[in-house]
Amino acid sequence: MSQPKRDGIGNILLVAVSVCLVCSILVSGAAVALKPVQKANRVLDQKKNVLIAAGVLAEGATEDAEGRGVEALFADFETRVVDLRTGRYADDVDAQSFDQLRTASDPSRSTALATGEDPATIKRLEHYGLVYLKRDASGAIETAVLPIRGYGLWGTLYGYLALDSDLETVAGIGFYQHQETPGLGGEVENPRWKAQWAGVSLFGDDGTPAVALVKGKAPEGSGARSHQVDALSGATMTSRGVQNLVNFWVGERGYGTWLENMRGGRV
Ligand SMILES: Cc1cc2nc3c(=O)[nH]c(=O)nc-3n(C[C@H](O)[C@H](O)[C@H](O)COP(=O)(O)O)c2cc1C
- The predicted-structure confidence for 89-119, as pLDDT tens digits, reads as follows 999 999 999 999 999 999 999 999 999 999 9
Examine residue 166 and state whether it is found in any structural domain, yes or no.
yes
Examine residue 163 and state whether it is found in any structural domain, yes or no.
yes
- Cβ-contact 145, 131 below 8 angstroms: yes
Global confidence as pTM:
0.90
**Tens-digit pLDDT string for the chain (267 aa):** 556 677 888 888 998 999 999 999 999 998 888 898 998 899 999 999 999 999 999 999 999 999 999 999 999 999 999 999 999 999 999 999 999 999 999 999 999 999 999 999 999 999 999 999 999 999 999 999 999 999 999 999 999 999 999 999 999 999 999 999 999 999 999 999 999 999 999 999 999 999 999 999 999 888 899 999 999 999 999 999 999 999 999 999 999 999 999 999 999
Examine residue 110 and state whether it is found in any structural domain, yes or no.
yes
Give how many domains the chain has, as a whole number.
Answer: 1
Examine residue 161 and state whether it is found in any structural domain, yes or no.
yes
Which 3 state secondary structure label does DSSP give 204? Answer: coil
Examine residue 65 and state whether it is found in any structural domain, yes or no.
no
CA of 9 to the centre of ligand 1 (A): 59
Which protein residue has the closest C-alpha to ligand 1 atom 27?
Answer: 234
- The predicted-structure confidence for 68-89, as pLDDT tens digits, reads as follows 999 999 999 999 999 999 999 9
Which residue among 180, 184, 187 is best mutated to probe the pocket of ligand 1, counting the most ligand atoms within 8 A of its Cβ?
A: 184
Examine residue 71 and state whether it is found in any structural domain, yes or no.
no
Q: Is the shortest distance between the CB of 213 and ligand 1 below 6 Å? A: no
Helix (H) or strand (E) holding 27: helix 9-54
- Cβ-contact 142, 165 below 8 angstroms: yes
Q: Is the shortest distance between the CB of 153 and ligand 1 below 6 Å? A: yes
Q: Is the shortest distance between the CB of 29 and ligand 1 below 6 Å? A: no
Q: Where are the beta strands (DSSP E) in 102-154?
A: 110-112, 124-126, 128-135, 141-151
CA of 56 to the centre of ligand 1 (A): 32
Which protein residue has the closest C-alpha to ligand 1 atom 26?
Answer: 234
Which protein residue has the closest C-alpha to ligand 1 atom 16?
Answer: 235
Examine residue 33 and state whether it is found in any structural domain, yes or no.
no
Closest ligand 1 atom to residue 186 Cα is 8
Which residue among 181, 187, 232, 243 is best mutated to probe the pocket of ligand 1, counting the most ligand atoms within 8 A of its Cβ?
A: 181
Examine residue 103 and state whether it is found in any structural domain, yes or no.
yes
How wide is the angle at C-alpha 205 spanned by C-alphas 143 and 223, nearest 5°?
A: 85
Mean pLDDT, the chain, whole residue set: 95
Give the pairing type, strands 212-214 and 141-151.
unpaired
Among candidate residues 61, 59, 56, the one with its CA nearest the CA of residue 176: 59
Supply the range of the domain harboring residue 163: 76-263
